[in-house]
């Protein structure tokens, strides 16, 4: 298959899927092209989307690839779809952050960290498909263990949990929270710039971190 | 802009005579403490500073005055702060008590720092480009699978008759008053139905009758449709119960048509036995 054709095929697959599609699933659908060729084509596509100022861009997210609309046009899209942005209150966000950074955590442990009851928050997060029960702790009462779902990664545009900024960098030792330029690479940069540098440039470094999710 | 006389936001629920307000600002005692510490331009390590304890207790009083539910966690924290303070103030000859107080303080500071980290992490998450807020993906909806019976409901005869009643009701006004006896062979209606069903596509039940004005033709077409469904040449489905009925080619669409059964014809509609293929 010619490279241009491969890109077109990939574009059609990602468009039709909507959800993030892993390299494995893409390769499975195309059958005749090796994974590495597909990976390279995706990287080239990601760069092209940005350089051509397209309305969509290609992002690596939740262990797969996903076509997304550009942030600049969010207002138009929201008006078209007549949707409201997802509502994430502070309790929801804090609890999500705790579970994301400490997968397989129990409710009492979360409540110890936050200092408040988290029953309702956990229920809401579960209903919204952002967390799930990963197992039971071998302890009295066998409390449920919680972890985040791929939908969580998708919502926040994360490749994997390894993509989260390093928690230690938040430590803000002098108490001046927010002044520390914590992990600018992962959070501060606008997302459109991420895919361009992904599979190709950082192949070596990224591979180790993301291979577990593919 | 149209001004709507909308009720005021439910900040004060009218259910009780005494207003009960949820305080949304502080997510628990740790959150409140961090707020007080930051406001005093202090560090979490200074949590035992007496000004923090005083302000914390004052805040609790305020909450109680406002008839807020002071959750137990707030009181536990207040007790901890007072205990630390009492150790600092009172002479304590026992060395063991001293160590205990130090440990209490260390634990509290550690909890505050840890909570602060997660609070910051939450803020960083919130600042990302959120799907559905800043970026959007294709909806990725799969077309209904015609092969699976699970998704669409199979339509019962009752559903079809009901849909038919709706068609006839629409015709009600248009039917001419003069009644002429006419022969409308059902077999003649069959090709029309089959022609309307393009391979792989669905048409609605209503659209089949949309351009028919003649009540007799409508009824003949309906009976022809029933016959085709019986043969398996046409499939009728619904996506939701009581939703629109869709028609599509059935498994035996291409099967050679058997002559229209005489029994079906001798009934309601005037029709003559005729060759089915025309």
Same domain for B177 and B240, yes or no, is yes
Report the alpha-carbon distance of residue A132 to residue A123 in Å, rounded: 10
Report the alpha-carbon distance of residue A109 to residue A106 in Å, rounded: 5
Domain boundaries, chain A: 3-81, 90-188
Q: Does A98 touch chain B (CB under 8 A)?
A: yes
Architecture of domain A3-81: Orthogonal Bundle (1.10)
Same domain for B113 and B71, yes or no, is yes
Report the alpha-carbon distance of residue B84 to residue A74 in Å, rounded: 51
Domain assignment present for residue B1? The answer is no
Q: Does B143 touch chain A (CB under 8 A)?
A: no
Of the candidates A18, A165, A172, the beta carbon closest to that of B124 is on A165
Q: Are A159 and A137 in contact (CB under 8 A)?
A: no
Per-residue pLDDT of A119-137, as tens digits, reads 999 999 999 999 999 989 9
Does the distance separating the beta carbons of B137 and A68 come in below 8 Å?
A: yes
Per-residue pLDDT of B17-70, as tens digits, reads 454 444 546 778 898 898 888 888 888 888 878 888 888 888 888 888 776 767
Domain assignment present for residue B103? The answer is yes
Domain assignment present for residue B205? The answer is yes
Per-residue pLDDT of A88-116, as tens digits, reads 888 999 999 999 999 999 999 999 999 88
Same domain for B167 and B111, yes or no, is no
Q: What value does the mean pLDDT take over residues A143-150?
A: 94
pLDDT at B129: 92
What value of ipTM does the predicted structure carry?
Answer: 0.74
Domain assignment present for residue B173? The answer is yes
Domain assignment present for residue B113? The answer is yes
Structural domain harbouring B58: 29-126
Flag whether pLDDT at B95 surpasses 90.
Answer: no
- Nearest alpha-carbon partner for B178 in B214, B208, B211: B214
What angle (nearest 5°) sits at the alpha carbon of residue B206, between those of residues B204 and B211? Answer: 115
| Same CATH fold assignment for domains A3-81 and A90-188 | yes
Phi-psi label, residue B157: left if phi above 0, alpha if psi -120 to 50, beta otherwise: alpha
Domain assignment present for residue B92? The answer is yes
Q: Are A65 and A26 in contact (CB under 8 A)?
A: yes
Same domain for B65 and B105, yes or no, is yes
Task: Give the number of beta-carbon pairs within 8 Å between A and B.
Answer: 146
Domain assignment present for residue B3? The answer is no
Same domain for B159 and B105, yes or no, is no
Q: Which residues, in sequence order, are bridge partners of residue B247?
A: B203, B236
Same domain for B158 and B256, yes or no, is yes
Overall number of domains in chain B: 2
Does the distance separating the beta carbons of A191 and B120 come in below 8 Å?
A: no
Query: How far B133 CA sits from the closest chain A CA (Å)?
Result: 4
Count CB neighbours of B172 within 10 A.
8
- Taken as a whole, chain A contains a residue count of 214
Report the alpha-carbon distance of residue B64 to residue B251 in Å, rounded: 72
Same domain for B167 and B108, yes or no, is no
The answer to whether the Cα torsion of A58, A60, A65, A68 is positive or negative is negative
Q: For position B173, which CATH number holds?
A: 1.10.10.580
The answer to whether the Cα torsion of A37, A42, A47, A53 is positive or negative is positive
Flag whether pLDDT at B249 surpasses 80.
Answer: yes
Chain B interface, mutation test: which of A115, A128, A152, A191, most B Cβ atoms within 10 Å?
A: A115
The tokens 């302000």 sit on which residue? B55
Residue A43 buriedness (CB in 10 A; 0-12 / 13-18 / 19+): buried
CATH code matching the domain that covers A90-188, chosen among 1.10.10.10, 1.10.3210.10, 3.40.50.300, 3.30.1330.30: 1.10.10.10
Domain assignment present for residue B190? The answer is yes
Does the distance separating the beta carbons of A98 and B124 come in below 8 Å?
A: no
Report the alpha-carbon distance of residue A92 to residue A74 in Å, rounded: 23
Closest CA in chain B for residue A192: B129
Count CB neighbours of A212 within 10 A.
10
Does the distance separating the beta carbons of B115 and A191 come in below 8 Å?
A: no
Count CB neighbours of A49 within 10 A.
22
pLDDT at A152: 95
What angle (nearest 5°) sits at the alpha carbon of residue A36, between those of residues A60 and A55? Answer: 35
Query: How far B25 CA sits from the closest chain A CA (Å)?
Result: 9
Does the distance separating the beta carbons of A167 and B131 come in below 8 Å?
A: no
pTM for the whole thing? 0.59
Query: How far B113 CA sits from the closest chain A CA (Å)?
Result: 7
Of the candidates A114, A154, A172, the beta carbon closest to that of B115 is on A114
Domain boundary among B107, B126, B145: B126
Per-residue pLDDT of B172-218, as tens digits, reads 665 556 666 677 788 888 888 888 888 778 888 888 888 887 888 88
Does the distance separating the beta carbons of B122 and A170 come in below 8 Å?
A: no
Q: Does B217 touch chain A (CB under 8 A)?
A: no
Same domain for B116 and B185, yes or no, is no
């Amino acid at each position: 298959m010619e490279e241009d054709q491969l890109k077109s095929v990939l574009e059609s697959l990602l468009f039709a899927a909507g959800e993030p599609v892993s390299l494995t699933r893409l390769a499975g659908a195309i059958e005749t092209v090796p994974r590495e060729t597909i990976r390279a084509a995706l990287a080239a596509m990601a760069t092209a989307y940005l350089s051509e100022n397209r309305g969509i861009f290609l992002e690596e997210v939740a262990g797969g690839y996903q076509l997304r609309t550009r942030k600049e046009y969010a207002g138009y899209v929201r008006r078209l779809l007549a949707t409201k942005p997802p509502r994430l209150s502070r309790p929801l966000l804090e609890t999500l952050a705790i579970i994301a950074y400490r997968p397989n955590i129990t409710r009492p442990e979360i409540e110890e960290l936050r200092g408040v009851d988290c029953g309702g928050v956990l229920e809401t997060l579960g209903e919204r498909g952002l967390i799930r029960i990963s197992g039971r702790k071998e302890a009295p009462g066998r409390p449920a263990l919680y972890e985040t779902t791929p939908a969580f990664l998708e919502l926040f545009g994360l490749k994997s949990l390894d993509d989260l900024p390093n928690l230690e960098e938040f430590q803000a030792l002098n108490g001046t929270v927010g002044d520390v330029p914590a992990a600018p690479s992962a959070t501060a940069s606008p997302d459109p710039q991420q895919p361009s540098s992904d599979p190709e440039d950082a192949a070596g470094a990224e591979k180790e971190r993301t291979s577990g999710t593919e | 802009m149209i001004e709507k006389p909308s009720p005021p936001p439910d900040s004060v629920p009218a259910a009780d005579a005494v207003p009960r307000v949820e305080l949304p600002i502080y997510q628990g005692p740790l959150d409140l403490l961090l707020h007080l510490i930051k406001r005093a331009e202090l560090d979490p390590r200074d949590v035992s500073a007496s000004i923090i304890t005083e302000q914390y207790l004052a805040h609790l009083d305020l909450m109680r005055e406002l008839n807020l539910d002071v959750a137990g966690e707030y009181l536990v924290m207040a007790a901890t702060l007072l205990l630390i303070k009492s150790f600092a103030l009172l002479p304590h000859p026992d060395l063991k008590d001293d160590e205990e107080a130090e440990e209490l303080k260390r634990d509290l500071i550690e909890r505050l720092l840890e909570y602060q980290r997660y609070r910051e992490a939450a803020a960083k998450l919130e600042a990302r480009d959120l799907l559905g807020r800043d970026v959007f993906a294709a909806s990725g909806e799969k077309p209904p699978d015609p092969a699976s019976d699970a998704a669409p409901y199979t339509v019962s005869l009752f559903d079809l008759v009901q849909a038919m009643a709706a068609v006839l009701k629409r015709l009600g006004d248009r039917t001419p008053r003069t009644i002429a006896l006419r022969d409308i062979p059902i077999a003649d209606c069959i090709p029309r139905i089959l022609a309307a069903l393009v391979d792989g596509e669905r048409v609605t039940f209503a659209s089949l009758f949309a351009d028919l004005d003649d009540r007799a033709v409508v009824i003949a077409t309906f009976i022809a449709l029933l016959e085709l469904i019986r043969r398996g040449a046409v499939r009728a489905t619904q996506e939701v119960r009581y939703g629109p009925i869709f028609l599509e080619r059935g498994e035996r669409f291409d099967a050679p048509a058997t002559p229209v059964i005489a029994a079906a014809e001798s009934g309601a509609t005037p029709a003559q036995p005729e060759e089915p293929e025309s």
